[in-house]
Structure 1
């Protein structure tokens, strides 16, 4: 049917003498599919049933909002059962946390997303378990347990489970519960098979070969080749991750695997070349953007995109669930918030927006302030999404209500301008800036599929780069300062035409005079 519609369209175009322009429209817009990830902390997103916990039906109810924003994919934090609110450190990998909903509600969400042309990515961290997990409970103090080699122990009696990252052997939750946590032996052949089966299940839950009910890929949390640098679980790329990823790709070759490098100072290139991961996170670019230093941003972008192998990609982000909010980092400077949005969405790679980032939600870290290491320290940047100007409206996911100082110092306020309701009708709001930039990507396919090439300039504050594909170029200029900047950009071939932003400078032969206002963005098409 689609092919017949295409033939009829071409026939109408030919009759109207417009065949060339119709073909161009088909090629430039219909065939270029964007991918913009919305990274959601689902417990805080939308509460559909009044129990204060964000849930799966809540996400489904808000798909219209996400599509209106322009995102194409959702990345959820773990769904599996855990005593911890963030669901890392599991007690049962096969079970969905009941506060999020049922398996039927999960499948309803996935199928509805797929009907809308959206993708779903699942966050997984199977290298650690709590004392509540069957492998731990059965093997602790029991060397004859069939699960003895599933867990790393430091003694023959199996009463000293090996510590995890940061040398922790337990962790206190925000609600006062404390659980022991230990490391899974990822090199045990049964553990390897268990992971293949577990991940494969989420790709095709009903095993019918139709992936309308399955995830479109995974985020691998805290991925390492030598887990926690202990020297006990080494060569994991080759012996654990590659076999797992090969198995998953054999089931559904279209999935994408994204890895969080455990070392945030890493460009992640070895994950792409040695572990068969598709995407890694551009941490160095994220860190540079927060400095608002033009030279750092351009230098880290040059290295990141230069070294990323063809066919792989970097995930470009300015926020995630593990770091203070961007609007807090830039002290709610409206200009810097919009600059962050432009850098997030216009550079190469796959953009990721952390829920609430698009409305400028706030949140700093409590690390070191309240009782050392606890899972409460990151609650301030995992707070309830602000849908309305009234902070007590139905749907607010206050799972952390009255639980400690993070609640008493909450940044979620009424009538402070930080909500979807307050920003939706304001054309100059941060929310509408995100919408405009995402719409621009769809109008200018080079901003989706084009490569990255930096453009040297004499300004101390203007980030400048090309997005290129073959002979086509788009030029992006982003002013990191409050002051207007004048500069001239040599254009070796083609004539520049501004498609986003404003410019009063004139085009001279092979040189464009630029006048760019403070904290503003310009995008040029060069034909």
Structure 2
């Protein structure tokens, strides 16, 4: 791909009139609800989503063919895992950052996809990890054992002869693929000025490939995988926020100020606030909230939500999620308990921040992360949480992307089965299904914008398993109640809540009259609009 041609300098600073940025942005009093736009991200592992050409790999055309499904679900944005060329199925360790993996399709397929996404007024975010390369990459091949190479300082070596490339995270020097292929991996020198310039051009290209300043063919932002200030805590690449990430983000924002940069903080125990304050990142992932939701512990959920939203700076935001491509799926974690699956959906979508839904989460797909369970890293151990999306009742239907067919124990013990109730075909017609719950909650957000833009504030209660919180903005206030237990809970509405109208009750839209008391059944979910008395 020849694209490093000229540097575009046009700066676009005007926002479209009437278009309000998503979640967390404030709306002037008097503005109609219709001006509030929701953002709900669908995190897709595209190799496992839909196969359009029968080669068993999910691809770009397959993703485009399923945009109707995503819009019907109610999501507004798509986050893809990396597209660039790699010997690994997940594409995180690249052999060439400038080529689209051919199993996903062509550059033309990509352009058709992104233009169609934008025609539908949806957004596309691209996942990037340029911190590492494999032995197949030009920088590695040319510099290995060759100190005279122009790329000698592009990657890190542990010796002057350049025969010992530095390890990556967890002191890994090579990685065996699920297909048996072993490739060496090393760390890129992010402090090299040529590497910095290369990354600016690489990322900038995806913002406006044809450089016409229209952005209809450009991504709406990036996810920065495994982002760190001191890469892998080795003390070799330090102050990266200041010297690598901020210059990169400044460059990208000068091209399109409306993009959003999301960072996956490498420390999953972190609230990510330093990324928001020191690295010019817009959004980070709410890992502490995710962990609390998994515990189904009311005290943890409310405490971590309090801290997360209190510490998040104005104008920044948290991505609220319950599963992703690196962890055991939520339905596996809660042992397919239908009530727990639904309260997980409610917390994901109603707490605040920007919700992110991992593909298949909305139908209760299963899969266990061996890294989370055993702490063992291999290329294959995460396949169970990255399996083919279950579109059909019959698991062998056309379009199923079984790229991992007959390749090992992850295939022999696959979670994808026929007639198990975990498919779009089986759940779409059922108003009580998990898929229907996700649709109902997303529609509830759109109907009551306070659930999109309203600030979060916890409401203390005496029940051991009842999560209660307000969402409030200048135009309204809502009280959300979520019962995390299998026992019935009686609840007295706050005395100062004024006139309370129930607008959601366990999957149904309600228009209840003013009330002072309510009852939540096992794993019950209620939303009340509060009006001044």
Q: Report what 2:143 is aligned to.
A: 139
**Residues 218-260 of structure 1: CA deviation (Å, up to 9, x unaligned):** 0000000000000010000000000000000000000000000
Residue 514 of structure 1 deviates from its aligned partner by: 2.2
Alignment correspondent of 1:158: 162
Q: Which residue of 2 aligns with 1:40?
A: 44
> What pairs up with 1:360-399 in 2 under 5 angstroms?
360-367=364-371, 373-399=377-403
Moved more, 497-506 or 98-107: 497-506
Q: Deviations over 1:281-322 (max 9, x none)?
A: 000000010110000000000000000001000000001000
TM-score relative to the length of structure 1: 0.93
Separation in 2, partners of 1:519, 1:373: 35
Match of 1:10 in 2: none
Q: Pick the aligned partner of 1:279 from 283, 289, 295.
A: 283
* 1:312-351: CA deviation from partner (whole Å, max 9, x where unpaired): 0000000100001000000000000000000000011000
8 Å contact from structure 2 (residues 343, 483) kept in 1: yes
Note the alpha carbon deviations across 1:175-208, whole angstroms, 9 max, x for none: 0001000000000000000000000000000111
SS in 2 for 1:525: strand
| Matched pairs, number | 502
> Structure 1, residues 29-65: CA drift from partner, whole Å, max 9, x if none?
3200000000000000000000000000000000000
Residue of 178, 181, 185 corresponding to 1:174: 178
1:369 to partner: Cα distance: 9.4
1:526 to 492, 517, 530: 530
The 1:449–1:368 alpha-carbon spacing in structure 2 relative to 1, beyond 3 Å, is closer
- 1:467 deviates by 0.3
Which of 291, 304, 323 does residue 327 from structure 2 map onto? 323
Task: Report SS of the residue matched to 1:497.
Answer: strand
- Cα deviation digits, residues 386-426 of structure 1 (max 9, x gap): 00000000000000000000000001000000000000100
Partner of 2:14: none
Tell me the CA shift for residue 471 of structure 1.
5.7
| Matching residue within 492, 504, 513 for 1:500 | 504
Alpha-carbon distance in 2 for matches of 1:483, 1:371: 35
Instruction: Give the 3 Å change call, closer, same or farther, for CA 498–372 of structure 1 in structure 2.
Output: closer
1:26 Cα deviation from its structure 2 partner: 9.5
CA contact (8 A) 1:458 1:487 kept: no
Q: RCO higher in 1 or 2 (8 Å CA, sep ≥ 6)?
A: 2
The secondary structure found in structure 1 opposite 2:436 is helix
For the aligned residue pairs, the C-alpha RMSD in angstroms reads 1.9
- Structure 1 residue runs of 5 or longer lacking an equivalent are 1-5, 7-23
SS in 2 for 1:212: coil
The more displaced of 366-375 and 405-414 is 366-375
Find the aligned partners of 2:92 and 2:474 in 1 and give their Cα distance. 44
Asked if the contact 2:117–2:124 (Cα under 8 Å) also holds between the matched residues in 1, the reply is yes
Partner of residue 413, structure 1 = 417
Q: Is the 8 A contact 1:504 1:514 kept in 2?
A: no
- Structure number with the higher helix fraction is 1
Contact persistence 2:265–2:272 (CA under 8 A) = yes
Question: Please, which runs of 5 or more residues in structure 2 have no aligned partner?
Answer: 1-17, 19-27
In 2: Cα distance, 1:348 partner to 1:184 partner: 36
1:51 pairs, out of 48, 55, 62, with 55
Match of 1:203 in 2: 207
The answer to whether the 8 Å contact 2:500/2:513 transfers is no
Contact 1:504-1:515 within 8 A present in 2 as well? no
Partner of 2:439: 435
Tell me, in whole angstroms, the C-alpha distance in 1 between the residues paired with 2:395 and 2:29.
44
CA contact (8 A) 1:28 1:445 kept: no
